[in-house]
Structure 1
Amino acid sequence: FWRAELKKGAQINTPEPRLNQWHSAHQGHVKITDMAMPGEPELINTSVGTSTYPNYANESCMIIEDLDERGLHDEARRRLEVWLKYQGTKALKGNFTDHDGVFFGCGGYEGGDTYDQHHG
């Protein structure tokens, strides 16, 4: 199963075998950690850490861009649609007057409430 999954999309071939392996393996890591939204399997919540790691827009955009650049446009779209569907549903912390149009809500999987609290 995984060998077939890792062959989907663009592949690279460089003189450095480890770079080739990393590029191939990255797609597997993304598919293992990302999960379909409960009750909405057409949407995928991006999780750059593990399946319990929340969704951060600044990190998700890099995963979504990587999938799109590999030619996996539907995979990218399913992750991007989460942000579009839940746009403006949750406010950022701070003294803002509203949260219309804010890309923060993602169906209860948003991160940021405690992010960077203990990073020194």
Structure 2
Amino acid sequence: MSTKTFHNTVRITSIICAILLFMAVLKAPREYYWLLRTVVSIGAVLVIFKNIATTYWVLLFLIVAILFNPIFPIYLYKKVLWMPLDIITGLLFLIEIITNKPRTEKVIIQKKEEKKYRRDRIL
């Protein structure tokens, strides 16, 4: 997988995670929260791999991956406690997308000069 494809995949996954996290504030069935945990933990791991050189992004999303992991879930038992975490985590995904935009490099195209040989001229 090329770097550009990987970055686009992470961006799309981060947008999906943010949308799901903002929707988690509303009333939803129990299965939705299992899906939310799974998608957010996968998204957090992808963001960690994308930003492996930046320590603060790795630490922030490591906390997100631990908090939302579906294998060993952390239960806070009250929706009132989860609501600010969902909103903050959704904003964190959006901030990561905005601050880590892929940089476009300016490519300078030079015209190839035609070689002119005196002997090739037609009189």
What is the TM-score of this pair, normalised by structure 1? Answer: 0.32
What is the TM-score of this pair, normalised by structure 2? Answer: 0.32
For CA contacts below 8 A with separation 6 or more, give which structure has more relative contact order.
2
Bigger proportion of residues as strand: 1
Bigger proportion of residues as helix: 2
Larger of the two Rg values belongs to structure = 2
